[in-house]
Structure 1
Amino acid sequence: MTEAHEYTVDLNWQHDRKGSMSSPVLNTKIEVATPPEFPKGMPGIWSPEHLFVASVCSCLMTTFLAIAENSKLEFIAFDCNAKGILAKKDGKFQITEIHLYPTLTIPSTEKEERAERILDKSEHHCLISNSIHSKISMETTIKVG
């Protein structure tokens, strides 16, 4: 893997407080808007705040998948809920905290400690989490199924 990568995103304003996001290397466009908590916000559309929290959550998953594969950890399912807290800090709004709630289903209890260690390692190595100032916390659930 090279040392630097570039990710390009294009955004086009549509109307009101809504735009359409795309990338030259992706097929799907995403509508994005001001969230309804703000003046003229639009419900039911992805907001920058949702995408910010989603980037941390999805990075945890992709980092976990890579580490689990390299560690040969067998698992049945991985799910994660995430919650971002938007608050004023030093007079500016920012996402101050992101809480991650991953649930990992493994085939047997004998790999439970190892699974927990790999999830912790995944959180530690998540490049998005390592790129932001928000406090990241993780509450893991391991299931046997």
Structure 2
Amino acid sequence: MAQEHFYEVNITWKEGRIGELSSPVLSKTIECATPPEFPNGVPGIWSPEHLFVAAINSCYMATFLAIASNFKLPVDRFNCRTVAKLEMVEGRYLVTEAEMYPDVKLTDPEADKEKAMRVLEKAKAGCLVTNSMKTSVSMTATVN
């Protein structure tokens, strides 16, 4: 049987280039705006571009932690910095590349470093967000 899930997000325009994201199943809202690199952009507020990269990071973390649990990999810390490149391609803006920099601290790095690298790769391959976009995603991992 196929699984289907639906996620609703709403936006309400506030003023200028600023809106507020909400969902009927979430208690917090997120203010978002055009990034300051564009005309009338607003600094200091989450932009669609930041939210795109946040989707990559949050999905990758969730996928990594699920696979690490399945592999019984003891993890003390997980951080991931992701940098995405926005550029004009054939007259349209696209996020063409994203580089993920996961940093994992293990309980026992001597025993589990190879397993952690396999889990990091499996998480990259299994991340539904990156599998759903045409952006090229690469990864440079640190495990200690």
Scaled by the length of structure 1, the TM-score of the pair is 0.96
- Matched with 2:61 is 61
For the residue of structure 2 that corresponds to 1:81, the secondary structure is: strand
Q: Does 1:140 align with 2:137?
A: no
- Matched with 1:78 is 78
1:40 CA displacement: 0.4
Q: Does 1:14 align with 2:14?
A: yes
The percent of aligned pairs where both chains have the same amino acid is 46
**1:1-145 equivalent positions in 2, closer than 5 A:** 3-108=3-108, 109-143=110-144
- Deviations along 1:63-118, whole A, 9 cap, x unmatched? 00111111111010000001110001122111001110000000221100000000
Q: Tell me, in whole angstroms, the C-alpha distance in 2 between the residues paired with 1:51 and 1:8.
A: 15
| Regions of 4+ moved over 3 Å | none
1:122 aligned partner, one-letter code: A
Q: Tell me, in whole angstroms, the C-alpha distance in 1 between the residues paired with 2:126 and 2:55.
A: 14
Structure 2, unpaired ranges of 5+: none
Report the aligned-residue RMSD. 1.1
Scaled by the length of structure 2, the TM-score of the pair is 0.97
Number of matched residues? Answer: 143
1:3 CA displacement: 1.1
1:26 CA displacement: 0.3
Structure 1, unpaired ranges of 5+: none
1:2 CA displacement: 5.7
1:141 CA displacement: 0.3
Q: Tell me, in whole angstroms, the C-alpha distance in 2 between the residues paired with 1:94 and 1:27.
A: 31
